[in-house]
Structure 1
Amino acid sequence: MKRDINIFEFPLNLGLKKKEHEPEPGVRKLPDWLRKLGFHQEIDPVSILRLEAPQYSMKPDRESGVLNAEAIIAYAQKQSDFILSHHQKNTFHIVLGGDCSILIGTAVALKKLGSFGLFYLDGHTDFIPVSLSETAAAAGMDLAIITGMGHEKLINVDGLQPYFLEENIYCAGNAETDDEEYVKQIMNSDIHYFDLEHLRKKGFEHTAEDFLQMIKSKGLDGFFIHLDADVLKDELMPAVDSRMEDGIDYQNLREILTPLVRSPLCFGIEITVLDPDYDETGIYTKPFVKNLIQIIKNKED
C-alpha cells in the first residue's frame, strides 16, 4: 500500500451483552492487544488516534429496546466528529474496535463526507430488528441500524438516515443460515447478500471485484470495509463473542480483502469483536495480525 495509514482506536464494548462469567466484554482491549503483538509497529501509521469509551453497563433503553442505546448514540456522535476532524485524503484508515456498534459512528461520518458503499465481511448478517435479537445488543443489529431499520434515535443520528443505502452494500460470509427468519430479513432487502456457501461458489476474489465494479459504476465517493473476526473458521479464531463453527480461512481472507484494500476508493477497514480475554497467549491473534499486515501492506508470505 502506497498511501499513508492512520489508525483509529475505538475501544467500545457497549454493543455487547456480557456473558455471565465475565465482568464485561473484553473486546475493548483489542487495540492495546494488537499493539502489544506488533500490529501498530509493523503498520507504521502516520498517526494513532484514540477516543476513549464509556465504562461498561447493560442499561436497557425502553424506547428502542436496545441495550445502552443512549450511550452508544452519544459515542457514535463523538466518534463521527473525531473521524471528520482527523481523517485525511489519500490515506487508508484502520479502525480498531471494540464491538460492531462502532460502525454506527463511522457510518455517520461517511454520510457527512459523501455517498459510500460498504463491504460487510462477517460471520453473521447483523441485519435484524430488536424483536428478533436474543440479547438486544446493538452489535448484533448494526447493519440493520446503519441502513435504517430500528428506532429513530439510532437510525437517524443528526438527521442523516440512512447512513448507507442497502443497494450499496455487499454482505458476505454469513455462516448462520439455519435460522430462516434471521436470513429472511436480509433476503428481503436490497443488500447484495452472499452467505458462506454462495461466497465460496462465486469466488472470493471475484466477489470483491464485482463489488469494486459496482462502486465504480455508481460513481460513489468511496467505500468502507467491515471485518468481524468471527467470519474466520472457529479453529482459526475462537476468541470472539459469538463463535461459528464454519467460516473462511486466511487464504480466503487474502483473496477477498487484497483487491479491496488496494483500491484508492477504499476509505479504510474496521476490525471488531476479537476478544483478547479468550486468547491469553496470542496463539490465535498472532496469525490474524500477520495476515492483516500482509494484506494491508501488500507483503508476501
Structure 2
Amino acid sequence: MKEISIVEFTSNLGLKEPYPGKEPGVNRLPDWLWKHNLHKLIKAKNIIRVDPPRYSNIKDPQTNILNADSLVTYSREQAYLINNLISANKFPFVLGGDCSILLGVAMALKQKGNYGLFYLDGHTDFMDVSLSETGGVGGMAASIVTGNGPEKLTNILNLSPYIKEENLWCVGNREYDDEYENQIKKSSATYISLKELRKQGIKNTVESFLLEVKSKKLDGFWLHIDVDVLDDAVMPCVDSRTPDGLTYTEFNELTSYLFKNPKLSGLEITILDPDLDETGEYTKEFVSNITAAFNQNFNT
C-alpha cells in the first residue's frame, strides 16, 4: 500500500480577478479543507506545501496569458516535488488551487514515463489562447499539458508534450457551445461530455478508460478533479458556474472505480473557492463525500 502525501499547491495564478483589485480566493482552499477536516480524514503520512509566486492580473505580452513567467517558475518547483514523491512510491493527494497546478504535475509525470490523464471537469479546459477572454491558464490546462499553446508553457524543460494528447480523457463537460467543444473534438483526446457520460453509463466509461491504460501499458494515470464537475445545486462555490452537473451519487461511483485501480498514481482537487462558501456547508458535504469514497476504495 502506497503512503499518501497531502500536497498543497496554493495557486490562483491561472484565474482572472473576480473583480478589479480582488485576487481569486481559491489559493486558500488547502487551509479551508484543513478547517473542514479533510487532512484528518485522509490518512496521510505527511503534508507538504509549495506556495506560488505573487499573483498579477497583467497578461504576459508574449503569450497573452496571465502570470505566464510565474507559472513557469512554479511548475518547475511542483514538478520536482511530485517527481520525488512518485519516485519514492508515495501517492500525491494534491489540493489546489486552480487548474493551472496541473502543469507541474504533468511535467513530473512526463519525467517518470508515459501516463494517462483522467480530466474530470465541468469544462474541457481544452481551449486555444485566442478563444480565451481571460488569459487564464485554468481554462486551458488540458490543452497546454498536451502540447497545445504557447511554447513558453507547453515546453518547460523541453518536456512537451507532458501528456500525449491520445492519453487524455476529458470527462464531464457541460459547456455545450460548438466553438468551445470543437477544440477537443478535433483533437485525438477522448472526449466524453456529461450527456455522453450518462448515455454510456459511468461504469462502462471508466472501464473503457482503464482498459486503454492497460492495453497501452501506461506507467499509470493521474486524476484531475475540478469540483465544478458537480451539480451547481451542490457545488455553487466555483468561478465559472454552469447549470446541471454530477450528483454526489454519480461522482462517488465514478471516483470509486478510479480510486481502487492500482494504476492511479495521484490526484488533484481544484477550484472550490472558500470566498464563495461563507458558511462552509458545501465544503463540508464535499469533504464528507470525497474522503468516504477515497478511504473505502484506495488500495483495497
TM over 0.5: yes
- After superposition, give the CA deviation of every residue in 1:45-80 in whole Å (9 maximum; x if it has no partner): 011111012222112111111111110111001111
- After superposition, give the CA deviation of every residue in 1:159-190 in whole Å (9 maximum; x if it has no partner): 0110111111110100001x211111100011
| Distance across 2 between alignment mates of 1:156 and 1:47 | 31
TM superposition score normalised by structure 2:
0.96
Check whether the contact 2:120–2:224 (CA below 8 A) recurs between aligned residues: yes
| Distance across 2 between alignment mates of 1:117 and 1:85 | 19
Check whether the contact 1:12–1:99 (CA below 8 A) recurs between aligned residues: yes
Check whether the contact 1:208–1:257 (CA below 8 A) recurs between aligned residues: no
| Distance across 2 between alignment mates of 1:202 and 1:188 | 21
Q: CA RMSD in A?
A: 1.2
| Distance across 2 between alignment mates of 1:87 and 1:218 | 20
Aligned to 2:179: 181
Q: Which amino acid aligns with 1:201?
A: K
| Distance across 1 between alignment mates of 2:230 and 2:20 | 24
Aligned to 1:102: 101
Check whether the contact 2:82–2:92 (CA below 8 A) recurs between aligned residues: no
In structure 2, the gaps of 5 or more residues are none
* CA 15–249 in structure 1, closer or farther in 2 if over 3 Å, else same: same
Q: How does 1:219-238 map to 2 (within 5 A)?
A: 219-238=217-236
| Distance across 1 between alignment mates of 2:204 and 2:296 | 19
User: How far does residue 90 in structure 1 lie from its aligned partner after superposition?
Assistant: 4.3
Q: Which amino acid aligns with 1:139?
A: G
TM superposition score normalised by structure 1:
0.96
- After superposition, give the CA deviation of every residue in 1:119-140 in whole Å (9 maximum; x if it has no partner): 0000000101110011111100
| Distance across 1 between alignment mates of 2:90 and 2:83 | 13
Q: 1:218 aligns with which of 212, 216, 219?
A: 216
* 1:139 correspondence with 2:138: yes
| Distance across 1 between alignment mates of 2:81 and 2:91 | 16
- Aligned sequence identity (%): 49
User: How far does residue 85 in structure 1 lie from its aligned partner after superposition?
Assistant: 2.8
Q: What is the DSSP-based 3-state SS (H/G/I as helix, E as strand, rest coil) of the residue aligned with 1:48?
A: strand
Q: How does 1:1-301 map to 2 (within 5 A)?
A: 2-20=1-19, 23-87=22-86, 89-177=88-176, 179-298=177-296
User: How far does residue 225 in structure 1 lie from its aligned partner after superposition?
Assistant: 0.3
| Distance across 1 between alignment mates of 2:152 and 2:20 | 31
| Number of corresponding residues | 297
